[in-house]
Amino acid sequence: MRNFKYIETIKEALENECPDTVSCADIVALSARDGIVMLGGPQIEMKTGRRDSKDSYLAEVENFIPNHNDSMSLVLSRFLSIGVDTQGTVALLGAHTVGRVHCVNIVHRLYPTVDPMLDPDFANYLKTRCPNPQPDPKAVEYARNDHVTPMVWDNLYYKNIMSNKGLLIVDQQLVSDKTTYPFVEKFAANNSYLTSLLTL
């Protein structure tokens, strides 16, 4: 997400080759698709033809994209409102197998006391990544979503959260919620099942 600055460069190159054909929205979607492949994930078939808006609708986005501190019932209902069922939501959150989380978003699970849902050894590791209870939001202080295979698209995310090693509250709730847990268990047991689901 920090590389949106490249969208204009890509757009300019495309406009030179085929004017008024490929939208910035398609560039973002196709970049995400290809990024997954580069990390070892599946090739996902994707339709193109998105059109760019002349206006920004940030408030609309915030109405549909759940917050990492939201309850699982709210997360599920928000995704369901755009046609993503429970299994799809659990699969989407599996994108947390790559990337990182700023310390600002996880220190409340570490200080002043450690969230009892966190594995103690994992909590100690997180404190080495986020040693300040009040991190500077502009500083580069973060923990990787998966510190074992951080740049590989795999199902270790699900194995981690089953071992109480989820960074965000929303991650850990996938295990504690009885409607999502069966899918977490299934994805953790079989990486190819998750891959086949994503390529449908």
Residue with tokens 């997180």: 126
Instruction: Tell me the fold of 70-198.
Output: Peroxidase; domain 2 (1.10.420)
Mean pLDDT of the chain: 89
pLDDT at position 200 is 56
The dihedral over CA atoms of 47, 53, 57, 60, expressed in degrees to the nearest 10, equals -30
Question: For 135-147, how does the pLDDT look when each residue is reduced to its tens digit (9 = 90+)?
Answer: 998 888 999 988 8
pLDDT at position 79 is 92
pLDDT at 54 exceeding the cut of 90: no
Instruction: Decide if 195 contacts 41 (C-beta within 8 A).
Output: yes
- Find the mean pLDDT for residues 156-169: 94
Close Cβ partners of 145 (under 8 Å, ≥ 6 residues apart): 96, 97, 98, 99, 100, 101, 157, 167
pLDDT at position 83 is 92
Close Cβ partners of 64 (under 8 Å, ≥ 6 residues apart): 78, 81, 82
- Find the mean pLDDT for residues 48-63: 82
Close Cβ partners of 131 (under 8 Å, ≥ 6 residues apart): none
Q: Give the integer Cα–Cα distance in Å for 75 and 20.
A: 37
Question: For 18-35, how does the pLDDT look when each residue is reduced to its tens digit (9 = 90+)?
Answer: 998 999 999 999 988 898
Residue ranges per domain, the chain? 1-55, 70-198
Residue with tokens 């689901």: 197
